[in-house]
């Protein structure tokens, strides 16, 4: 998998500033609107670190 830099500090898959997931899914944040800027997208693979510690 290509190296993916990610700054979502609270994600289980983040190590340093890179994503270590085997694959990721990215989706539009609002399905009904045009995606035009980076903020219009979100990582669907995100898992909060605190959720994994339970």
By beta-carbon proximity to ligand SF4, the closer residue of 1 and 37 is: 1
CB of 46 to ligand SF4, least distance (A): 4
By beta-carbon proximity to ligand SF4, the closer residue of 9 and 32 is: 9
**What's the 3-state SS for the chain?**
CCCCECCCCCECCEECCEECCCCCCEEECCCCCCCCCHHHEEECCCCEHHHHCC
Residues lying near ligand SF4 in the complex (CB under 6 A): 4, 6, 8, 11, 13-14, 19, 21, 24, 43, 45-46
């Amino acid at each position: 998998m290509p190296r993916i830099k990610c700054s979502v500090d609270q994600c289980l898959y983040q190590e340093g500033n890179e994503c270590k997931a085997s694959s990721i899914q990215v989706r539009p944040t609002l399905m009904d609107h045009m995606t035009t800027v980076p903020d219009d997208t979100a990582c669907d693979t995100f898992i909060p670190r605190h959720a994994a510690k339970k």
